[in-house]
Amino acid sequence: MNRNLNNQEVACLLQAIAAAYEVKNSNRFKIIAYDRAATAVENATSEVKDLWDDGKLRTLPGIGASIAQHLDELFRTGKVKHFNRLIKGLPPAMFEFLSISGIGAKTAYKLCQELEIKRAKTALVELEKAAKKGKIALLEGFGEKSQTDILEAILDFKKGRIKKKRMPLSYADAVAQDIIVYLKKSPATLKIDPLGSLKRRVATVGDIDIAVATKKPTEVVSWFVAYPKKKKLIEKGPTGASILLKGGCQVDLRVQKPEAYGSMLQYFIGSKHHNIHLREFALKKGLSLSEHGIKKGKKLKEYATEEQFYHDLGLPWIPPEIREDTGEIEVAQKGELPNLVKTSDIKGDFHLHSNYPLEPSHDEGKNSMEEMAMKAIELGYEYIGFSEHNPSLSHHSEKQIIDLVKRKNGAVEQLKSSCNKITLLNGLEVDIRPNGQLAFPEKGFDLLDYVVASIHSSFKMNKKEMTRRVLAGLEHPKVKILGHPTGRKLGQREGYELNWEKVFAFCKKADIWLEINAWPDRLDLPDVLVREAVKNGVKMVINTDSHALSQMGLMPYGVSVARRGWAEKSDIINTLSWLKLNARLKRT
């Protein structure tokens, strides 16, 4: 076994152990414990192997003394004797079946035994064959229906292997918005809200869930399933319906009477872990929670609003963005919830690409500086900075580069004289080259108000090298912002790894701001690192990285990332007025 297991692999192993215990009818809480440990690992914000390196395994909630010891053995020796003993005698094929929707540990084991399927490698093929031959329906406890269900689930799984993508939040927003507008046209619709990860503003969304409050549920459901962009009806019932859209994404609708709308919102906004924790919390007060409301004994109380629901648990309303069970319930209990930053707090944007011809090696913007300045005024900003990519090094001499920037400066000055409603800054987005040098001549820096330093090449360096490269780039006193700090592109690439402890320490000391890039494919810094930055007292700046006017309106996506990272107004530099910000722009 490989000792350098990633989180997904460790989670998978723990899941298998849970399944093994389940088949052996062990203490059910032990099964739950392994199951929870698996989820904890899967959702961990750092690699578990790294945590082990630092002796911090136990900091993951759900990993206790026993499992930590097993994982220690795993990372040291590549195997866990106790696990091996446990799995010995169980057919390897059963663990393959666990990936099939509708098959749990018990069913997986039974299928292996009855159908004599043992080898993991051919397990799914054999199961599919058995189903097609009608062998499953003959087994005790199975029937025709479960046989076709299994067959369908196998086909789904095979499809899912090729394509099971979550969509970017911005795409989900657009789809949801269209449906919301449509649903509002029904006179039976009283209230309407997005649910799930869409409402919590997670960077990517699986299915789109929407709630409607109504006194005429069947009317709303019928209206919904007649949505013109529907491709296929998946299911329809008295409490909701699911449809598949032509674009391929699934939309679930849930309807509820207005009196119980609040508890339903709370339940379906999630997250699952937030809700589980909240139910445990309630249980200690003798209350039982569900999507229907709060039960005390046998008496159920319904809730029209989420605020009332949380209030009756003795908690303030918790913003959906932080309902991830990462301490929000404890903090809410103490009355110390953060006052999260809002889009209306934002007073400027430091990362804009105009079409000024700086002859860069990366892409230019589509609109003029003037157009962008007008748009910024419309957005109510006090200041913006133009930060086009640096002129390409390979195609220009040092003098040519400086001349280009001087000319742009002139253009900015001219614009300033005709536009006094907003402060205009002369920035530049400069590549940090693989050796850590900035891709801009030293003599040119005096011409700039600030630099956004970013990585745009050689993404594959290891953590140590990349950290050295980034820190070297940040050394320069003109650098104020580290642009899209992890380099991730959602659904395309993971981004590089950095030693964040070092980066945070450096940024804090030098008052360098980490960018939260609002571009929907980036959303970089990611929310979990925003949280770390906040804890470390590192300031951030939310920028749109706009290459066109319309993109300047994407700021809310950056703000939601900041909110998911528990950032308050004071953590975000571009909430400052120009007066206060001006003083901080100069490095000391």
Please give the residue ranges that form the binding site for DNA (CB under 7 A). Answer: 22, 27, 29-30, 32-34, 36-37, 58, 61-68, 100-108, 137, 140-147, 149, 237, 239, 272, 275-276, 279-280, 283-285, 288-292, 295
| CB 365, CB 354: distance < 8 Å | yes
Q: Compute the least distance from the CB of residue 321 to DNA, in Å.
A: 19
* DSSP assignment letter at 55: T
Contact 289, 277 (CB under 8 A): no
CB neighbour list of residue 372: distance below 8 Å, 6 or more residues apart: 352, 354, 365, 384, 386, 546, 549, 552
How would you classify the pairing of strands 230-237 and 250-256? unpaired
CB of 140 to DNA, least distance (A): 5
SS3 147: helix
- Give the dihedral sign, CA 415/416/422/423: positive
Please identify, using beta-carbon distances, which residue of 53 and 144 lies nearer to DNA: 144
Nearer to DNA, 240 or 385 (CB): 240
The residue among 237 and 410 lying less far from DNA, judged by its C-beta, is: 237
Which has the closest alpha carbon to 552: 560, 544, 540, 563? 544
Contact indicator for 60, 48 with CB cutoff of 8 Å: yes
Tokens at 367, concatenated:
């609109």
Count of residues in the chain: 588
User: Judged by CB, which is closer to DNA: 65, or 162?
Assistant: 65
Nearer CB in complex with DNA: 53/330: 330
Q: Please state the closest distance from residue 345 (CB atom) to DNA, in A.
A: 32
Considering the complex, what minimum distance in angstroms separates the CB of residue 507 from DNA?
31
Shortest CB 280 distance to DNA, Å:
4
Partners of 167 in the beta sheet? 205
Q: Which is nearer to DNA, 161 or 284 (CB)?
A: 284
Least distance from DNA to the Cβ atom of residue 111, Å: 9
Interatomic CA distance for residues 250 and 121, integer angstroms:
32
- Taking the least distance from each CB to DNA, the nearer of 103 and 507 is 103
Q: Which is nearer to DNA, 32 or 233 (CB)?
A: 32
Helix 65-77 × helix 7-23 angle, to 10°: 120
Rounded CA Rg of the chain: 27
Pairwise CA distance, residues 10 & 15, whole Å: 9
CB of residue 366 vs DNA: minimum separation in angstroms? Answer: 41
The CA–CA distances, whole Å, from 273 to 22, 36, 162, 282, 285 equal 22, 10, 28, 14, 19
The minimum distance between CB 57 and DNA, in angstroms, equals 9
Considering beta carbons, is residue 141 or 228 the nearer one to DNA? 141
Least separation, in Å, of the C-beta of 137 and DNA? Answer: 7
Listed in sequence order, the residues at least 6 apart from 355 whose beta carbon sits closer than 8 Å to its beta carbon are 364, 365, 366, 367, 368
